[in-house]
Structures are given as C-alpha cells and as structure tokens.
A and B are shown apart, each in its own frame.
Chain A
Amino acid sequence: MRIHGLARSFLTACLLLGSSAQAETLSIRADEWYPLNTQPGSAQPGFMIEVAQALLAPHGISVDYQLMAWDEAIATVREGAADCVVGALPSDVEGFFLPQRPWVLSEQSLYARVDRQINYGGLDSLKYLRMAVIAGYSYGETLDAYINAHRRQRDRIYLVPESARASREMITRLLVGHADVMLETSVVMDATLQRDGLSKNIRKLAPAVPGAAKETLYIACSPVGERGGRFVRLFDEGMPDLERSGRLAELKDRYGIE
C-alpha cells in the first residue's frame, strides 16, 4: 500500500512535470499594426493579441507573439511554422482557418483637421482635395485606382513614404497643411487619435467610399494540420463568453476600437 501510494505520487509528479513540459502555446506572427497588434511584450501588445490571450487562457494555452514582415508572416503560417496571423483580410489568407465572425470591422475613411470645413460628397469631391496616402499601401480597388490615376498630381495626392509610423507622419502633414484630408483605416486612425490625444485636432470626415462594405479583419490560422482548425474552434466557442463578461468591450475601449 505504501509502495502503491509512492507509485501514485511518482506518477502524479511525472504527469504534472509532463504537463508542464508540454504546455501548449499558440504562435502568432504579424507586422506591427496599431491597435490590432503592437510591440510584443509591451503593456498593450494589441487588441487582437489580447483577445486571443483572453480566449485561450481558460484552456491553458499561452500566446507567443512576434513581429515579422507581413508577407513573411503569412508564408510562415501557411507552411505551418507558426499558428496564426492577426489583422488579416480574407483575401490575404485564402485557405486559412477563420473564425465565424470577424474580430474587427473597419473601413477606409477620410480625416481632416477640425478647423477645416470640408463637406465630403464621395469620390467626386476628391478632385477638390489634396489627399495624403501612404505610398505602396493598398486601400481597396476603388481608391487604389483613383490614387494611381493621380499619384503624380501633387495638388491631389500627397504621398507619405511607407514606414512603421506612416500614419503619424500623415497626421503631421495634415496639421501643417500639406494635405486637406488623409486616408486611413478607421480602426487604426481612431485608435491613434485616442492614444495620442489628437481628437481635438483631427476628426473623421466620412468613409472614403460611401456605401462600401466594411473590411472584416480576422485572426487567421494555419491550414496545415489540425491545430489551426482547433484554435479557431476555441476562439468561436469562447467569444460569446468574452462578450457577455464585458471583457471584449473593455479591450475595445482600451484600444479605441468602436
């Protein structure tokens, strides 16, 4: 009996050690895109990172989040070398596992200085405005066509070089009058304005393409093996509880996401 008790204790210790050694981790790779995913290890690693952490924590699954160039991140996840990317449009991640509902809705919107009286009436109004955009970014088919058609007209398009904080550069250009409006993803811009206290300087004007469907942003998991599908199921199963608990609203408010 004593031996039996010792054996049970030993077995329990082994199981605990084994469990500890095999603690499951979800690996997320993406380029920095405030507020969805920001600096790894920081107090605010990003809305989607924190949502993933909140949904997987009850299952004892931790999150390993690292920054990586966007194309490289997608390729890594597609090969199964990492589990998921965040902030993905469905068109970016064909074949990946996606939750049933997008985690964030967004739209390409125009922003202007609060002291500028601009009545935006759709794409036709753009010819009277100098619009700041980030060089090399894609804003959707309609806006890309307009930008490409007028990218050499400096009275219509102000190109800001692509960089990690190009949105901030656009804000500066907007404030000094180098642009009348700036084009940015609403989820990014709204959060930036809130974070940097710029709401008193800059306001949202309107969706750049009135009536256009909103962009759906997902966490997208690897099509290789079963892990991706399982993680997505866990996300879908846990999301109602996260909403009911108010935790989701709290995270949205924290990151300035509507």
Chain B
Amino acid sequence: MASSNSRSIGRRLILGTLAIALGPLALASVLIALLAWSDAREALTARSLEQLRSIQGVKRDELQAYFDTLSASVRALAASPSMAEHLLAMRTALRSEQTALTETQREQLQAYYDQDYAQRYAERNPGQSVRAGALLGLISAPSQALQHRYIASNPHPIGAKHQLAAAAGAQSYDQLHATLHPVMAQLIESFGFYDVFLIDADSGLVVYTYFKELDFATSLKDGPWAGSGLADAYLAALDGADARQTSFVDFRPYLPSYDDSAAFLAVPIVVAGRVEGVFAAQVPIDLIERIASFNQDWRAAGMGDSGELVMVGPDRLARAKPRGMHEDPQRFLAALPEAAADASTVDTMRARSTTVGLLEIESSAVQAALEGNSGTGRYTNAMGRDVLGAWSPVAIGGLSWALVAEIDRAEALAPATDLLRKMLLSAVAVGILLALLAAFVARRWARDIHRPIEQLAETVRRLSAGDMRARSHLHGSDELGQLGTAFDRLLDDRVAALALAAESNQELEESISAMERSIRQLADNDLTVQVPIGSERTRGVALAINELIGETASTLRNVLLLAAHASESAQAARQQAQDMLAQAQPHLDQARATISELQTWSKRLSSGEAVDADLCKTLDACADVLQSLVTRAEAVLGNQRDQARQVAIHAQSVVETARVFKLPPA
C-alpha cells in the first residue's frame, strides 16, 4: 500500500509535470492553429471568389463574343446576294412544284414518319413515343413530295440525310439544291451550325435545310412546326424586318430534332428593300459546351477538381453540360437529386448524353443572376454541394442567362485545411518531444523525492516489525534530509526510553510472578510463605502481604488455643452433667415409685373404697407435681449434657479447621 502510494506520488509528479509542460503548449498550438486556419480560410475564400469572378467575367465575355460573332455571321450570310438569289429561286421552284405523291410514295413517307423518325425519337427519349405520322395532314402535297425526295427516299440513313447533294430528277429545285448544298456544307463546317434554313417570308415555307429533318419543306405559319422555336425565330425576324438585327430564340425542345434542345438565330433576307425571306441557323450546342467546359481542361483554367461553369436559361434549365456529365456521366446522373430531374428525365439525359434543356438548376446564385444581379458568395448549389461562386447575368440575343462559376468550398479551402493539419501535426510532434523531455525531468524529480520517502517508509516498516535499530540515515541538506535526521534522532530518544521501560517492566513482572507464587501457596493454606521483596514498586505490597500472613498465622494459633480450651471445658461439663444425671437417677426412680403409689392410692380411693374425695384430689395433685419435677430434672440434666457435647464438637471442629493451615513456628 505504501509502495502503491509512493508510485502514485511519482506518477502524479510525472503527470503533473507533463500537464504543466504540455497543457499550455497544446492550448497555444490549438489557438494559433485555429486563428491561422480562420485567417487562411478568409484569405482563401476572398482569393477564390476573386478568381471565380475573374473566370466568370472572362467566360461571360467569351460567351457574349461568341454569340455576337455567331449573330454577325448569320447577318452576313443573310445579306449575301447569293443567299437571296437561292431563296428566291428555290421559292419560285417550289411554287411550281406540282409533283403529287403516288400511293406507294405516300406510304414510304408515312413509314419514315412512323418508323424511322419515331424509332430515333424513342431512342433519344426513353419511355416516350411519337405519332409523327399524324402530322402529315398538316403538310401540303408539294411539301410532302419534297420530303419524300429528300428524306424518305434519300438513300442515306437517318441522321445522314444531308449527304444527299440533290435528289434524282430534273426538277429545277433539285438543280438549285445541288448548287446550294455544297456551299451550305462549307458554312456548316466553317461556323459549326447544327443546321441552316432558308424560309420564304410570305408562306413561312422552309425552302431549304441542310440536315433534312422533318422541318424541311414545311410551313412555319400553319405547318406542324408552327409553334416551334424555328417558327418563333422566323416570326421574330419578320417582326423587326431589320437585316441589321439578329433574332434569337432560346433553347427549348425541338421536335424535328427529336426534342433535343435547339436555339435559333434568324435574320431577314431583304431584296430591294423588301423582306423576301429569313435565313436561320440552329445554334450549335458544341461550341457553347466548349466554352462552358474550358475545353474539358478545368484544372488548367484554375477550376481545380470540382470547379465548373454553370449556364442556366430563364426557364431554369441548363444551357451547358455540368462538369460531372463530361467526366463521369453515370456517376453524375446517379447522384442527381430528385428535385433536379425525375427518373424519366434522367433516362433521357443518359440516352442523349447531355443535360442541356433537361436539368433544372436551382440555386441562390442562379436566382440572383436571372434577376439581373451580379455577385460572389457561398451557397448550396443544385447538386446540394457547399460551393463558392461568382455569378452574373449574361445577355444572349436579348435574353438573359445566368452564368455562374463555382467550386466546392472544401476544395477552395483545402490549403487552409492542409495548413491546419500541418500546424496540428507540428504541434503534436513538438508536444511529443516536450513530453519526452518533461517525462525525463519529471522522472528525475520524482526519483529525488520518491527515494527519501521510500527510505523513511522502510524505516517505519522495520520499526513496526520490531527492529528498533532501524534508521532512515537521510543526511541531505534539503527538507527531506532534515526530516530524516530529525526522525532518526527522535527514534534514538524514543528507543532508549523504551529500553528502560522494558527493564523496569521485567523487574516488575518478576516481582509480580513471585507474588503470584506466594499467593498460590497461601491459597494452599500455607501460612509459612513469605513474599520476596524484589521490585521497589511491589515492595509495599509484598510487605503488606507478609504482615497479613503473619497476623493471620498468629490469630489462627490463638484460635487453636481457645478451641482446645473450649473443648476441654465442654468435655468437663459433659462429664459433670453425666455424673449429676447418674447421681440423680436413684432419686428419680424413687420419686417415680412414690408417684406410682400415689396414683394407686388415688385409684383405690376413687373406686369405691370411698375415702375422702378431697384427699384423692390432693394425692393426684401431688403425684402430678412430683412427676413434673422429675421430668424437668431429667430434662435439665439432659440439656446440660447435650450442650457440653455440642461445645465440645464445635471446639473440635475449630481445632480441626485451624489445623488445616500450615503455620510457621511460634
């Protein structure tokens, strides 16, 4: 137990030393690290936001410049004399188109709508179907004839119908098409348009398209696509009738392109001051994607592992694929929140490999940008991630998109987190070194304190075991040394006192033992015993006992003498009573005879012999008195004899009792 306590003191000394050494260090390290971390986070946040603002601004300008260039290109193309010439020539050719479809040709066209187109539509829109053939009723016969020549009977597969330079035949339209189509192919290649259109102003007839989708040769006024984005672009171009202005219709599902999102740019074609038609181009999504995705090199653009540029239209739908859709589409689609897209829409995204026009993007940044505000800050993006972002509206063809550059906050602040980790690791390393040093020093201190305490404890243990020679032998100049010296000195004094006490006790015990032996002899009626006078402390008692023994013996001796005398006297009295009784016996016998005679006489007189009655009574009375005297005399003599005998017996008893004691000589 003592050892455990000693260890406890040592452990406490070590722990206390470690606490004193490491506590302030740990506290200071944590505080400094947190302050540094906080400052670093603020600095990094500010730097990230500034960087994002810069990137967002560059991308905004790039996007606007791209659309400006695209718009200018469309205007230039629309203003081209050859474009107007082809429009007018094709319009004229179509007006003279009198070809009527045979039943077989009509069935072929119907089959293209119901099968080829519908199948491609279903592929790009999982779970959905389209009764495209129902739209044929909205297409005029000449238009159907053109669609048959350039689409249904086009030998190239769906999606590659543009490879047909001109339909076989000698129609003037076909000849014009053969001339224009290679030119348009160059335009498509040069400007990257998805498709280009020539539209007659009055009828709304699409007299030419490059890709030969189902919008070809239909009327945008009353045909099946009269409500489409292309029709809106056509009407918008006519509305302004200003060849210096490009009308833009934002991305939305375009059924002729299988409901893919399509945007259009349109410019009126003015000939001699009259709007004769409209040149329209389907905006290529690829170039927008390239701008938004930094050519898929986000890291080189300073967007790290999570940064991306988000483009959102007024309908809250994406205008460019998110980064995740480029890098890992399956993972991105699997992680999409329910609020952003339902399962059917996700299937469509998967089938089309894009989220443009499908993914709903809601965040405070997008909201602010769509409301015309610019800013930077922290928010939760549409994917539910904590991000830093910079946003602003971007004017696209008279519309306002939201353009947001954002990056995961965790990544942006990763250097601060690294700094914190390094500082804490450094603090831990320094702490360990200090702990080892403190433990070494504490151990030395503990040993210096623990050893004297252990010596003192051992001394006490030996003393308690009876080793009166045990001493601490501590001679240091410190407090423990002084304690040890004082302790040893105290032990010397106390041990000497104890030795004297022991010797005194020994004598006392011997004296008491002698007294006990004497008393046991006394208990055996031996009054010859004498208690030895050993110790001074028992001397009085011994003398008193010896005196008592002497007095007792003397008394017993006197009792014996008196008992002997009493016995002798009793014997003499008894003998005397015996003698007196013997001497009185004859007289008593005579008295009894007299009495008997008196009684006889009395009986005779009473029986008739009639003597005097008074005399008889007197005689009886005499006899009774006499009898009474005799009886009393015998009783007195008897009592004297018995008393003498009793006295003798008692005296004998006393003598016998006194003789039990062994008496010293008188």
Contact = CB atoms under 8 A, between A and B. Distances in A.
Interface string B226-259: 1111011001000100000000010011010000
Contacts of A175: 131, 134-135, 138, 224
A167 B227 contact: yes
A163 B227 contact: yes
A197 interface: yes
A256 B196 CA distance: 36
A165 B130 contact: no
A154 B315 CA distance: 17
A196 B228 CA distance: 15
B330 interface: no
B137 A201 contact: yes
A169 B232 CA distance: 11
B509 interface: no
A176 B228 CA distance: 14
A8 interface: no
Contact of B135 (A152, A167, A172): A172
A9 to B, nearest CB: 42
Given A152-B342, A154-B342, A172-B255, A161 B315 contact: yes
A119 B252 CA distance: 32
Contact of A172 (B129, B224, B315, B344): B224
B315 A177 contact: no
Interface string A153-166: 01000001101111
B311 interface: no
Contacts of B634: none
Interface in A157-199: 160-161, 163-172, 175-178, 195-198
Nearest to A164: B232
Q: Count chain B CB atoms within 10 A of each CB in A39, A164, A165, A166 and give the residue with the most.
A: A165
Chain A interface residue bracket vs B: 20 to 34
A165 B235 contact: yes
A135 interface: yes
B226 A135 contact: no
10 contacts: A152-B342, A161-B252, A161-B315, A163-B227, A163-B229, A165-B231, A172-B227, A176-B135, A177-B131, A197-B222
B232 A177 contact: no
B132 interface: yes
B222 A196 contact: yes
Contact of A168 (B130, B132, B231, B342): B231
A31 to B, nearest CB: 12
Contacts of A195: 222
B224 to A, nearest CB: 5
Nearest to B113: A176
Contacts of A167: 227
Interface of B: 128-132, 134-135, 137-138, 222, 224-229, 231-232, 235, 239, 249, 252-253, 255, 315, 342, 344
Contacts of A201: 134, 137-138
Contacts of B225: 172
B229 A168 contact: no
B255 A176 contact: yes
B124 to A, nearest CB: 14
A213 B222 CA distance: 32
Contacts of A197: 222
Given A161-B252, A172-B135, A201-B137, A166 B130 contact: no
A182 to B, nearest CB: 11
B301 to A, nearest CB: 32
Contacts of B239: 39, 67
A196 B218 CA distance: 14
Nearest to B231: A165
Contact of A165 (B232, B252, B315): B232
Contacts of A176: 130-132, 134-135, 255
Contact of A154 (B134, B229, B344): B344
A67 B231 CA distance: 18
Contact of A166 (B129, B227, B344): B227
Contacts of B249: 163
A167 B227 CA distance: 7
Contacts of A164: 232, 235
B226 A168 contact: yes
Nearest to B235: A164
B631 to A, nearest CB: 151
Contacts of B231: 165, 168
A197 B219 CA distance: 14
A202 B134 CA distance: 12
B319 to A, nearest CB: 14
A163 B132 CA distance: 22
B234 to A, nearest CB: 10
Contacts of A166: 227
A54 B344 CA distance: 53
B342 A177 contact: no
Interface string A198-233: 101100000000000000000000000000000000
Contacts of B138: 175, 198, 201
Nearest to A198: B138
Given A135-B315, A164-B232, A177 B130 contact: yes
Contacts of A169: 227-228
B134 A177 contact: yes
A220 to B, nearest CB: 25
A171 B227 contact: yes
B130 A178 contact: yes
A201 B222 CA distance: 13
Given A164-B232, A167-B227, 12 more contacts: A152-B342, A163-B249, A168-B227, A169-B227, A172-B225, A172-B255, A176-B131, A176-B132, A176-B134, A176-B135, A196-B222, A198-B138
A94 B642 CA distance: 161
B253 A161 contact: yes
Contacts of B137: 200-201
B236 to A, nearest CB: 8
Nearest to A113: B134
Nearest to A196: B222
B229 to A, nearest CB: 7
Q: Which 8 A-B pairs have the closest CB atoms?
A: A169-B227, A168-B227, A177-B131, A168-B226, A161-B252, A165-B227, A175-B134, A196-B222
A244 B212 CA distance: 54
Given A163-B252, A168-B231, A196 B226 contact: yes
Contacts of B224: 172, 175
A118 B342 CA distance: 28
Contacts of A160: 227
A166 B225 CA distance: 11
Contacts of A152: 342
Nearest to B130: A176
Contacts of A168: 226-227, 231
Nearest to B228: A169
Nearest to A177: B131
A135 B316 CA distance: 12
Contacts of B228: 169, 172
Contact of A170 (B130, B227, B344): B227
A138 to B, nearest CB: 17
Contacts of B130: 176-178
A177 B253 contact: no
Nearest to B135: A175
Q: Count chain B CB atoms within 10 A of each CB in A67, A163, A198 and give the residue with the most.
A: A163
Q: Count chain B CB atoms within 10 A of each CB in A167, A168, A171 and give the residue with the most.
A: A168
A208 to B, nearest CB: 20
A235 B232 CA distance: 34
A169 B132 CA distance: 14
Contacts of B226: 165, 168, 172, 196
Interface string A125-138: 00000000001000
A152 B235 CA distance: 31
A23 to B, nearest CB: 27
A69 to B, nearest CB: 12
